Structure 1
Amino acid sequence: MSNEYIPFLSEIKDVIKHTDIEYTFRMAYVGDVKPGQFFEVSIPKFGEAPISVSGIGEDYVDLTIRRVGKVTNEIFENQVGQTLFMRGPYGNGFDVDLYKGKELIIIAGGTGVSPVKGVIDYFGEHREETAGMTVIAGFKSPKDILFKDSIKRWETQMDLIVTVDKAEEKGYREGMVTAYIPDLNISDLDHVAAIVVGPPIMMKFTVAELMKRGIKEEQIWISQERKMCCGLGKCGHCKMDDTYICLDGPVFNYTKGKKLFD
């Protein structure tokens, strides 16, 4: 019986650069894991950081990490073949079975694409399991766009809108993700499921626009992945009201999640 408090060593199988401060570390891992779950990645003497799963393979998980502090700075010093400590996976994640047979709408902003990427990848490869699929991914600028290789594949698999807040170059859609919701082609409101992940203010206004289109609260899921902390509900940093994001989430149906915004 494993001890969930004790980390295990995992080998870095690949390092994929997206931007100057965002890399995906492909970590050796064999076991059950869902999109939207997260691992704690740690380095002795530096600490640990909760990182969402952005890809799932037979013998690996992808962890897309932004270089923003002491722990992540040190993680970026590691290369293929070296090892990092991990524990997890934690959280409930996205259950793809909930979205099968539905018209699926996924809207994500910035690094919020990471926790939903596994859902996009799954249904991109199993289009017959949805009644239709639209993805809207928003980034600050062209240089901030993540998963460019995956985006090329998604363009052939689904209705995909990639937008940036502002672009100096031509050839990019501009505007907030909410600007594209009024024009979504929805054929059957009773069989729609929507996933929204990103900064809290983005999720708030995106959900509001979806509801203007007639999508009900119970048809919408969000992730509070920015609130994740120890993964075990012990530190209390993720507690919102009587809910522990690490234990009860980070994925919530909006009927519950709407009560958990700061």
Structure 2
Amino acid sequence: MTKNQYIPFASKIEKVIRHTQTEYTFRMHFDGAKEKVKPGQFFEISMPKYGEAPISVSGIGDDTIDFTIRRVGVVTNEVFEHYEGDSLLIRGPYGNGFQFSDYDGSELIVVAGGTGVSPVRGVIDHYAHHPEAVDGMTAIVGFKSPDDMLFRDDLKYWDAHIDLRMTVDSAKGQPGYREGFVTAVVPELTPKNLANTKAIVVGPPPMMRFTIAGLIELGIPEENIWLSQERKMCCGLGKCGHCKIGNTYVCIDGPVFPYLKSKTMVD
């Protein structure tokens, strides 16, 4: 019998990690996650009587997946009422995700802002633990303020194993932070071999637009840039049409796209 992809299944909350007042990571049980899920994919998390919401995978363990969720609406408000030992209803994974084979052997640059760090956390973490797989790696991450930082333990590990550059929009008087946007860091990069340099950009649309322009200005080929177009997704199966741009369904064909494809997607 064919499995109905619309029907969610219960997943136990193994751990809850609080990052900020409104952003928590829920670590969920998912058998064989490492073989079944890729960074950049997403799941639908549903709450009966409240609805469902698409949430990116922010971490992948042997039998767990992480969802880093911001409390911003009806569904996420209800999700925040569930903690360790409880279960949530999920379905997925959906989308294409990031393929490590696209970046292995290259010099890799990842630029992410705010919650945009979530879908690329798995990519950064993979190469921070396997630096021999790439010819150098730089991660540029930005947050609104020190109080809005996500994945603090990861940031410490990344800082020790890759070239991590972090910015905050405002340090709020706290010393030791670089104020400004991630876009200001891009011109400072000095890739060793532009033809062999790959880049991933995830964040708010204006940040992605200016970051990509900066990477191209450096001389990185357009075909070597990827981004995530997480927007308007609803059903996850290309049926509702909310995410359709032209003939492209973001939930099926993406949300990860080569820049050459993404720049032709005019909404």
> Which residue type is aligned with residue 96 of structure 2?
N
CA deviations over 1:185-214 (Å, ceiling 9, x no partner): 211011000000000111000000000000
Which of residues 28, 52, 56 in structure 1 aligns to 2:56? 52
Tell me, what secondary structure is at the counterpart of 2:187?
Answer: coil
Aligned AA (2:222): E
* Contact 1:228–1:250 (Cα < 8 Å) also in 2: no
State which of 131, 137, 152 in structure 1 corresponds to 2:135. 131
Q: Distance in 2 between matches of 1:199 and 1:52?
A: 15
Distance 2:135 2:201 in 1: 19
Q: Identity over aligned residues, as a percent?
A: 63
Higher deviation after alignment, 180-189 or 248-257: 180-189
What is residue 27 of structure 1 aligned with on the other side? 28
Consecutive aligned runs of 4 or more in structure 1 exceeding 3 Å deviation: none
What does 1:1-262 correspond to in 2, within 5 Å? 1-31=2-32, 32-168=36-172, 169-260=174-265, 262=267
| Unmatched 5+ stretches in structure 1 | none
**Alpha-carbon distance between aligned partners in 2 of 1:35 and 1:241, rounded to the nearest angstrom:** 25
Counterpart code for 2:143: F
Task: Name the SS of the counterpart of 2:231 in structure 1.
Answer: helix
Query: Normalized against structure 1, the TM-score is what?
Result: 0.98
Give the superposed CA RMSD. Answer: 0.9
**Pairwise CA distance, 1:245:** 0.3
Unaligned runs of 5+ in 2: none
Q: Deviations over 1:112-139 (max 9, x none)?
A: 0000000011111110000000000011
Residue type at the aligned position of 1:50: P
Secondary structure of 1:182 counterpart: helix
Task: Write the letter of the residue equivalent to 1:17.
Answer: R
Shift of 1:261: 5.6
Q: Distance between the aligned counterparts of 1:119 and 1:228, measured in 2?
A: 22
Corresponding residue SS for 1:215: coil
1:98 Cα offset (Å): 0.6
- The number of equivalent residue pairs is 262
Provide the secondary structure at the position in 2 that maps to 1:222: strand
| Letter of the structure 1 residue corresponding to residue 72 of structure 2 | V
